[in-house]
Amino acid sequence: MIQNVENARHMVARKIMAPISVGVLGLLSLCTNVAGQCDPGEMFLDVNPTYDVGIGPWSVAIGDFDNDSVPDLVIANNATNNLSVLMGNGDGTFADQVTYDVGGGPHSIATLDFDGDGILDLVTANRFTFNVSVLIGNGDGTFASQVAYNVGRSPWSVASDDLDGDGVPDLAVANAQDHSVSVLIGNGNGTFDSQVTYEANSPIYVAIRDLDGDNILDLVVPNFDNNDVSVLIGNGDGTFAPQVSYGVGSTPLSVAIADLDGDGVLDLVVANLVSEDISVLIGIGDGTFAIDVTYIVSDVVRAAISDLNGDGIPDLVVAHNSIEGYVSVMIGNGDGTFAAGVTHGVGSFPISVAIGDLDGDAVPDLAVVNGSSDNMSVLLNQCDFNYCPSDLDGSGSVDTGDLLALFAQWGTPGSADFDGDGTVNTVDLLILFANWGPCE
């Protein structure tokens, strides 16, 4: 019996780990068995290394591009119309950039396995050429030349996931100028169908999650001109219901999604530039939201979410687009509220932040793109979590007993819902496998 389970674990792990994505790398920092905490003021060093990238960097993503189980980085450079790929060394340091040409004004980047070969690929939203660029990965950290697909006018953001339930990644693109969201259905071989568009108010960012618990992915877009955020509920076949909008602060630029209050329902965090605040919208569970609280945050352009201090509660990282250059860490209270931010210095005008374990210590770190200083700051988390992730039965080891416990909770909002999306599913299984072995 045990050998059969072990064989199944290895077989499923090979199938799941191959297309490991940016989102999954970030999720490895989430678990239920936590003990350690640390002072947010001591979370990162006073001086952090920077790495040169292109001119006008605008977006950063994390992924394992050469399948060596070490995270790598990719940055979209708005002014030089290219991407910078920095291969990770496994200790939180990175090699010099290698660049790849894309369309004009790349403002957003996402990574997933588009052709099913177990190798991560890239896609950028190109604001000035009204298209997206798809770059297929070669498996050694290099990428083929771009293939472009037309979308709407002024595409600011792209996200990727399986929108029609066929196991193949699709694309969603926020087109700011023509007030639409483009959906491009993937064919499974790295190519995509022509866009189908959906009305949105003035979308500048797009995020994909299951917001109503029906195992169908939905879309969320902040609308910078309308001062609201729109939710488009998925139908399961790659189509979406008309938008439903919720008022937020002035000039919302981005949205982050997580279960902030521990009720198994996803909530929204919206960064509002002009009103200099963050809007937190608490999920009801049926895809609708209530405005809960607003936090005053100066020069805010981007917020990202992860458990940064090891207490099992999601925290916020906020990028402040100012010449002084800093990010704030806002520790979550577990009820959907947050403590005041503690600042950490980065480069000038930080514009984007990604969270993942960059040095292999199972603690989430930060990669921050600095739009004016044309570089990227890496902030390695100094916290010692001192926990045993995924040890569901308290045996002191993540093993077959925990695997069986997870399968017993499959499809329910059980204790094995490590990523807090309301359902025990494949992502939670991946997190358990990533933590397999004796607790230290």
User: Please, are residues 172 and 185 in contact by the beta-carbon 8 Å criterion?
Assistant: no
Task: Say if residue 15 is exposed, middle or buried (CB neighbours under 10 Å; 0-12, 13-18, 19+).
Answer: exposed
pLDDT given for residue 37 in this prediction: 58
Residues 6 or more apart whose CB falls under 8 angstroms from that of 11 comprise none
Give the DSSP per-residue string, 162-215: -SSSSSS-EEEEEETTTTEEEEE-B-SSS-BPPPEEEE-SSB---EEE-SSSSS
pLDDT given for residue 125 in this prediction: 98
- The beta strands (E) that lie in 216-334 are given as 218-223, 228-232, 244-247, 252-258, 267-272, 277-283, 289-296, 300-306, 315-320, 326-330
pTM score, two decimals? 0.80
Give the DSSP per-residue string, 10-79: HHHHHHHHTT--HHHHHHTT--S-------GGGSS-SS--EEE--SSEEEEEEE-SSSSS--EEEEEETT
Q: DSSP 3-state assignment of 408?
A: helix
User: What is the C-alpha to C-alpha distance for residues 122 and 214, in angstroms, rounded to an integer?
Assistant: 28
CA separation, residue 137 to residues 119, 126, 202, 317, 363 (Å): 6, 19, 32, 30, 27
| pLDDT mean by block of 10 residues, the chain; 440 residues | 42 38 40 55 92 97 97 98 98 98 98 98 98 98 98 98 97 97 98 98 97 97 96 98 96 96 96 94 96 87 93 92 92 93 94 96 95 96 75 85 93 84 88 82
Strand order in the sheet with 218-223: 207-209, 218-223, 228-232, 244-247
User: Please, are residues 160 and 112 in contact by the beta-carbon 8 Å criterion?
Assistant: yes
User: What is the C-alpha to C-alpha distance for residues 7 and 221, in angstroms, rounded to an integer?
Assistant: 42
pLDDT given for residue 40 in this prediction: 87
In 3D, which of 214, 265, 262 has the Cα closest to residue 411? 214
Give the ranges where 254-384 is alpha helix by DSSP (H): none
Task: Say if residue 340 is exposed, middle or buried (CB neighbours under 10 Å; 0-12, 13-18, 19+).
Answer: exposed
Q: DSSP 3-state assignment of 393?
A: coil
pLDDT given for residue 423 in this prediction: 87
